Amino acid sequence: MFLNSILIIIILGKSNEILAVQNIACETLGNLKEFLLSDGYSISEILASKQKIPETIDNFDAIFILGGPMSVNDNLEYLIKEEQLIVNSIELGIPVLGICLGSQLLANSCGGKVQKGSKKEIGWGFVDITDYGKNSLFKNIVDKTIPVFQWHGDTFVLPENAIVLSLSKLYIQAFEYKTAFGIQFHLEVTEKMILDWIQEYQKEIQDANVDKQELVFEIEKKVKDLNRYSKIVYENFISLIGK
């Protein structure tokens, strides 16, 4: 049994090491961390605003760029470095998953454009998966429309040759670009993360006239559903390692 476990870890990837870049402490890998650790990966987590982004990245099997309240257009030095990290990762063929702000950084760094949306999407909603998406990042998700958790005000114009994987009524919600994937919404959130965000982003909630009760209504059930979808997306993404 012990030897079998070791063999499983050895064949995961070239290093079995994952880089996760946070932009604010409260927006973490969430349930994705549990999936990665359960599969035997080690994770290097850095907070980009306070820690140096690695210059040597060819030892990582995959890279996750997470969310945050800042905008790509804020011209912050660490966001510029994250964009270069994304470009370098794609050039090396390393799978990248950008979530919310991470997806916007991906779009911007690859020739797209990020801009303020006509309306903020905060809270629970639905997104439609495209036909291409059902054979890509959302493969094995039976439903064409899935419930998600959202928290963003910016949206993007996609870079040339990017492929749309998911949409809401307002915006493009997920896309594929070479070895990278951007997702505007959140499947990774845990119940604790949502409660933390409600505290951290109180002013934004008030300004957007969002009802806090709607954010926590049936939260346990909704987070459980998210976890199920997140596991499928995770498995699809992580299967790209070594390809």
Tokens of 26: 């409260």
- Helix ranges (H only) for the chain are 2-10, 31-38, 77-92, 101-109, 191-200, 202-207, 212-216, 219-238
Give the Cα separation of 232 and 201 in Å (integer).
Answer: 29
The residue to which tokens 């009524």 are assigned: 169
Is 100 annotated in the active site? yes
Give the Cα separation of 150 and 124 in Å (integer).
Answer: 6
Phi, psi for 149 (deg, rounded to 5): -110, 135
- Beta carbons of 181 and 237 less than 8 angstroms apart: yes
Nearest to 233 by CA among 104, 131, 129: 129
- The residue from 100, 110, 121, 152 that is catalytic is 100
- The residue from 27, 82, 176, 186 that is catalytic is 186
Is 83 annotated in the active site? no
List, as one string, the DSSP characters of 111-151: T-EEEEEEEEEEEEEEEEEPTTGGGTTTTT---SEEEEEEE
Give the Cα separation of 125 and 178 in Å (integer).
Answer: 28
Is 152 annotated in the active site? no
The amino acid that residue 66 corresponds to is L
Tokens of 5: 């476990």
Catalytic residues: 100, 186, 188
